[in-house]
Amino acid sequence: METFKHLVNILAHPTIMLTVGMLVFLFFFPPNDWFEKWNRRLRLNFLWTKKGFYFVMFLMVVFFLFGLTDPNFSLIIKKPDNVPIIGLIFFVFIFLWISMNQALKNDNLIEAGEKPEEYNDPEDKVLVWPDLVYIEFIALILCMSLLLIWSIGLEAPLEGPANPAESPNPSKAPWYFLGLQEMLVYFDPWLAGVVFPSLIILGLMAIPYLDTNPEGAGYYSYKQRRLAIPIYLFGWMILWVALIVIGTFLRGPNWNFFGPFEFWDLHKLVPLTNINLSEIIYIKWFNRGLPENILVREIFGFLIVFGYFLLLPPLLAKTAFKKLHQNLGNFKFGFFIFLLLCMLSLPIKMYLRWLFNLKYLIAIPEFFFNI
């Protein structure tokens, strides 16, 4: 049992968890034919069948029940603050399953030349009065019941009086902001705290204008939206939900990583020495000091960033996203690819940090400008 816990602790480390998660993600949500081939060969769509649902739910329930027997993990999952996150894990899966299950059913129907299930109205029709109002009323009562049970069962997680001289360790943002807090580890506050959140909102608002694919409107389908769904789910599942889960369960004192079954030791030390790109290049590779001139010093960082945002889009427009570029036109495509690159910059920066201890690509502390 201890070996199992130890294994989980190792697997839970974000380098492994996120890498595995991102790879597996592509097989479960194949964006192109190659992945789809493997998806079929591995029968991964089993997950979206009823059996798959029960299987995953069973696994998750067993995992959490097992977690309750571990003194460290049970402390984390029983904390009243964290209960919504456990709910979140289950609900995210349930809703994902519902939509994917329906999408696959429809895909099969479409493949057989039939119409998606959603066309079979009025079986799915609801009368506002009396049915919808009645159902909503029942739902309301059940929700209230749930809230009552919750409030009776779990005491409010009150803490000591607020004291500006003493911050709690770890000091965590509210659960819905833990993704942002995780980003702060890798990016300067102005990026992680201002630019990225704005871009997320902007991006969500832009979806209807960018996603002009008429297929799949009004019904679930995966095959017809093989690009849109993986991109969205990558941002949502990996870069938002997973970060919240990591922030809740795996970030302990001093914002260190702790495996789920690991004791939150206040004195745990991990090496956290990071280095800027300019230092890597000038000092490590060229064996010379940093140039005085800021622009000269950071030139490589600028080149990389500009290259990433200015060279990659035309390149992609000619290759991977050729069709999309044709459909969207220059302006829309440009905006789309900018958002996509911004989104991808997060995992890229994470890997740069983990692999090369890279602190910033461009570091100009003189003007508080770091990327």
Partner 1 sequence: MAKQERYYNILKLNKLFAISSIVFLILLIWTFEEDYSRDWKEYQREFRLLEEELTSNLLEQEKSRITGLSDYKVAQQEMAAAEKSLDNKRADLQILQKQLKSLNNEHYKVEQQLAFDKAQYDAAKYEYEEAVGKKHGDVKSTKKRFDHLDIEVKQLTLKLEDVVRRLNQQKKTIQDFLQEVNDAEKSIGEFTRKIDLYSKKLTKIDPGSMTVGNRMADFIRDLPVLDFLNPYYKIDQIVIKDITEDLIFTKVPKVDRCTTCHLGIAKPEYEDASQPFRTHPNPDLYITNKSYHPMESFGCTSCHGGRGRGTGFITSAHTPKSEEQELEWVEKYQWHEMHHWETPMFPKQYLESGCFKCHSEEIFLSHAEKLNLGTNLIEKAGCFGCHTIERYKDKRLVGPDLNKIPSKISRDWTYLWIRDPKSFRHNTWMPKFFGLENNSDPESQARTEQEIHAIIHYLYKNGKDFPLYPIPRLGNPERGEELINSLGCLGCHRIEPEPFEETTSLQTLRRDHGPNLIGLASKTTSQWIYNWLKQPERYFPRTKMPNLRLTDEEAADITSYLMTMSNGEFLEHKIPPLDEGVIDNIVKNFLLKMFSDFDSREKLKSMTLENKLDYAGEKLIRLYGCFGCHNIPGFENEKPIGTELTEEGSKPVEKLDFGLLDIKHSREVWFTQKLKHPRSFDRDKVKGDYEKLRMPDFEFSDVEVEAIVTALQGFVKTSYGIKPVKSQNPDVHMGQWLVREYNCQGCHIIENDGGAIRPTIQDWLIDQYAFTESDAEGMIIPFSPPDLNTQGDRTQPNWLFDFLKNPTSIRPNLRVRMPTFNFTDSDWSYIIKYFLFLDGEVATYESKHSVDMKSFQYLAGKELSELGACDNCHFYGTTFPKQTPDTWAPNLAMTKVRLKPEWVIQWLKNPQDIMNGTKMPAPYIPTKEDLAVPEIRESFGRGILNLDGDQDAMLRGITDFMYTIPGKTDISKEIKDYFDKNGYDFLQQEEDEWGEWE
Footprint of partner 1 on this chain (CB under 8 A)? 122-123, 125-127, 130-131, 134-135, 137-138, 141-142, 144-145, 148-149, 152, 158-166, 169, 266-267
Minimum separation from the CB atom of position 64 to partner 1 (A):
22
Q: How far is the CB of 264 from partner 1 (least distance, A)?
A: 12
> Closest approach of Cβ 279 to partner 1, in Å?
24
* Residue 266 C-beta: closest distance to partner 1, Å: 7
Q: Is-contact 116 219, C-beta < 8 A? A: yes
CB of 253 to partner 1, least distance (A): 9
CA–CA distance, 338 with 332 (Å, rounded to integer): 10
| Straight-line distance from the first to the last Cα atom of the chain, in angstroms, rounded to the nearest whole number | 44
On whether the CB atoms of residues 262 and 346 are closer than 8 A, the answer is no
For every residue of 178-226, DSSP letters joined together read: HHHHHHHHHS-HIIIIIIHHHHHHHHHHHHHHH----TTTTS--SGGGT
- Contacting residues for 276 by C-beta, under 8 A, at least 6 apart: 301, 358, 359, 360, 361, 363
Minimum distance from residue 3 beta carbon to partner 1 (Å)? 23
Other beta carbons within 10 angstroms of residue 48's beta carbon come to 20
Give, as one character, the DSSP assignment of residue 356. Answer: H
Under DSSP, the state recorded for 257 is B
Which residues have C-beta within 8 Å of that of residue 221, sequence separation ≥ 6? Answer: 103, 106, 107, 110, 116, 215
Shorter beta-carbon distance to partner 1: residue 41 or 267: 267
In the bound state with partner 1, the residue whose beta carbon lies nearer, of 264 and 354, is 264
Q: Which CB, 149 or 201, lies closer to partner 1?
A: 149
Instruction: Specify the residue, 117 or 211, whose C-beta has the smaller distance to partner 1.
Output: 117
- Minimum CB–partner distance for residue 233 and partner 1 (Å): 32
**C-beta of 158 vs 295, nearer to partner 1:** 158
Based on CB atoms, which residue is closest to partner 1, 163 or 287? 163
| Closer residue to partner 1 (CB): 165 or 205 | 165
Residues 48 and 36: their CA atoms lie apart, in Å, by 15
